[in-house]
Structure 1
Amino acid sequence: MSVAEAEAPTAQRRASGSSFYAAMRILPRAQREGMFEIYSFCRLVDDIADDGGPQAPRLAQLEQWRQDITALCAGKLPEPQFAGLLAAIKTFNLQKDDFFAVIDGMEMDVREDIQAPDWQKLDLYCDRVASAVGRLSVRVFGVPEAEGPSLAYHLGRALQLTNILRDLDEDAGINRLYLPREALVAAGIESTNPKAVIASPNLAAACAPVIARARAHFAQAAAIMKRCPRARVKSPRLMYEAYQIILAALLARGFAPPREKIKLPKHQLLLALLRYGLF
């Protein structure tokens, strides 16, 4: 973290470690600060889901977030630290249901260690933890109303499915597995135990339909962005480009152990930033 980032407001500091930080930084100030607030909210509720510990206190924390979001969306300030989020909600007309959907997605992780959900449950999870964030974000970006929800739907799912493929080992370390049960069965994998699945020689076959869905959602997102004013989709285009690079790296690496952690090369991010952020 740079000195400037260390001295930045709390919401920006939380966002500085995100894969999407560059895509947020290229926005005009009001939009940039709005996105920092959305990311900060997502980071805080995600920490509740991933930190472990007794279930009851974490569920209580998520319920408190629902109460705080309800107050904020009614124009009230429950705590001083929410002033930035309140400003973003007012400025960009952010919707309570989308915040609630993100919280509901985190609650899914708190209530159980998700292991091999069916496709329907996985899609619901992706909608809550990714596409709902997209629905908040497209309002900040200023994507036309006719295209915003569809872009959030497809790009959110594409990014989340890519995350699932990238984080197989990390998720197994906390006893989670988001590959769908139907894909495991089709690949001849009977177990749903995360560590057993990621050790299977058939893991690549189980990942194949997830890759196919991610690609389909990326294609839909690209078509939507092509119809939008270029200035309105600079940030989502950069997110799209970054995750296309990650997906390509995953495919080039393969899924046989040992699996090296995939990171976005800085030079490729810079090229994408130049293409979508400056020109």
Structure 2
Amino acid sequence: MSATLQAGATAAPSLPAAGSSFYLGMRILPKARREAMYAIYAFCRAVDDIADDGGPRPAREDALARWRQDIEALYAGEVRPATTALAPHIRPFRLDRDGFLDMIDGMEMDVRADIQAPDWATLDIYCDRVASSVGRLSARVFGLPDNEADELAHHLGRALQLTNILRDLDEDAAIGRLYLPREALERAGMQELSPSAVLAHPGLDHACAELVTRARHHYDEADRVMRGQPRRVVRAPRLMEAAYRSVLDRMARRGFASPRTRVRTGKLRLLVSLIRHAFG
């Protein structure tokens, strides 16, 4: 169990690592928007760390409950230590309370039970809570109008999360999780749906192909939304989309049969995208 959970305190948010793709991608934003994104990132990292902590479930549920209380207090006018970094950005960027609470709801799905082969409907709810919720906050920081912000968040959040699911198959299986949808697994001929059995099954490529197809659909829809916006407003989400779509395409070419070499966002590839979307 982490020292934070042992102490019973809300996890202290941390900034993105200077060399991370997120840090580099947000560097193209103006200072005020960049700092707001770093604050949102720190919140997401804090609650995600709680969900992935190996400690007892009740302790992690309590830690998430404290975050929920801190967010509620923030919107009631009380700034607590955990929300100090977020507080200056709530009003200027019209950050909605539900975006933060939805993210906590998603983390609670991971804490209450290890997700294994959910149906598509449950997986979509999960993607909305852990990814599109962040997109709804982020798109307002970028400067999109509300309707377009929500539509972009819907599609880009799901595309990024499905890409993450495909990329992290082995890491998730190691902690007893499997996010591939039950319907896709059964169509691929699988009956035993434990993480180890699924990842060893010869039909894994077929099952993963459904997620690749759906992710590409969401990337295409996100592109459609971004094409209707001023380039300066969508530079950061275009950079994220380019980096993650490259990962998806390379995984699709590699295939998903074991052994799977991990596909990463190469620094040179990211730099090229950064230059393109920062100055294009």
Aligned ranges 1:9-158 → 2 under 5 Å: 13-14=15-16, 16=18, 18-79=20-81, 81-158=82-159
- Map Cα deviations across residues 164-201 of structure 1 (whole Å, 9 max, x no partner): 00000110000100000000000001111001111111
Alpha-carbon offset, residue 256 of structure 1: 1.4
> What stretches of structure 2 of length at least 5 have no aligned partner?
1-11
Taking only the aligned residue pairs, the percentage that are identical comes to 57
- Map Cα deviations across residues 195-219 of structure 1 (whole Å, 9 max, x no partner): 1111111100110111110010000
Alpha-carbon offset, residue 241 of structure 1: 0.3
Amino acid at match of 2:155: H
Amino acid at match of 2:173: A
Alpha-carbon offset, residue 21 of structure 1: 2.0
Q: Distance in 2 between matches of 1:138 and 1:275?
A: 20
Q: Quote the residue 2:250 is aligned against.
A: 249
Aligned ranges 1:224-263 → 2 under 5 Å: 224-263=225-264
Deviates most, 259-268 or 129-138: 259-268
- Map Cα deviations across residues 119-159 of structure 1 (whole Å, 9 max, x no partner): 00000000000000000101110012231100000000000
TM-score norm. by structure 1 comes to 0.93
1:17–1:58 Cα change, 3 Å: farther
Alpha-carbon offset, residue 12 of structure 1: 6.6
Aligned residues: 269
CA contact (8 A) 1:12 1:33 kept: no
CA contact (8 A) 1:144 1:228 kept: no
CA contact (8 A) 1:15 1:39 kept: no
Q: Quote the residue 2:221 is aligned against.
A: 220
Runs of 4+ aligned residues of structure 1 deviating over 4 Å after TM superposition are: none
Q: Distance in 1 between matches of 2:175 and 2:14?
A: 28
| SS state at 2:109 partner | helix
CA contact (8 A) 2:13 2:45 kept: no
CA contact (8 A) 2:16 2:23 kept: no
Deviates most, 250-259 or 15-24: 15-24
| SS state at 1:231 partner | coil
TM-score norm. by structure 2 comes to 0.93
CA contact (8 A) 1:164 1:179 kept: yes
Deviates most, 26-35 or 70-79: 70-79
| Greater helix share, structure number | 1
Q: Distance in 1 between matches of 2:181 and 2:15?
A: 34
1:223–1:236 Cα change, 3 Å: same
Q: Distance in 1 between matches of 2:247 and 2:93?
A: 30
Alpha-carbon offset, residue 11 of structure 1: 5.9
| SS state at 1:77 partner | coil
